[in-house]
């Protein structure tokens, strides 16, 4: 009897994850920054106040292999498609798979 592999439909807000072993491809959404308060300088939030994510074409965090990235204090989507081998999330609320 084969057991279906349970695909993760949520991703923690901080960490590095391999597509396949750790997370399934798909479109994911976060509510934004996990910071309890934002620090703004000249009407711009500091990087420590923002949620940031990266997708990689290789299974490591080499910034030369970034496929896509974004940072925001508010809600965002990350498309983890078939070209992506790894996903990194920093200071974000948990991610939920929407497709």
Domain that holds residue 38: 10-97
For residue 87, being part of any structural domain is answered with yes
Average pLDDT of 69-89? Answer: 95
pTM of this prediction?
A: 0.84
- Is 2 among the domain residues? no
* Confidence at 46, pLDDT banded by 50, 70, 90: low
What is the rounded CA–CA span in Å between residue 93 and residue 13?
5
**Residue 51 domain-assigned?**
yes
Pairwise CA distance, residues 54 & 62, whole Å: 10
25 occurs within a structural domain = yes
Phi, psi of 73 (to 5 degrees): -95, -20
Decide if 71 is inside a domain: yes
Place of tokens 């396949």: 20
- Reported as a pLDDT band with limits 50, 70 and 90, residue 49 is confident
Q: What is the count of structural domains for the chain?
A: 1
Q: Name which of 67, 70, 99, 72 is nearest 86 in CA terms.
A: 67
Mean pLDDT on 45-55: 83
Where helices occur in the chain by DSSP H, the ranges are none
């Amino acid at each position: 009897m084969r057991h279906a592999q349970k695909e993760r439909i949520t991703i923690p807000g901080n960490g590095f994850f391999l597509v396949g072993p750790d997370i399934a491809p798909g479109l994911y959404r976060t509510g934004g920054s996990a910071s309890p308060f934002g620090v703004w300088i000249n009407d711009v939030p500091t990087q420590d106040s923002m949620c940031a994510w990266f997708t990689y074409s290789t299974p490591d965090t080499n910034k030369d292999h970034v496929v896509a990235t974004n940072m925001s204090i508010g809600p965002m989507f990350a498309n983890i498609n078939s070209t992506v081998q790894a996903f990194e999330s920093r200071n974000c609320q948990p991610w939920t798979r929407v497709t």
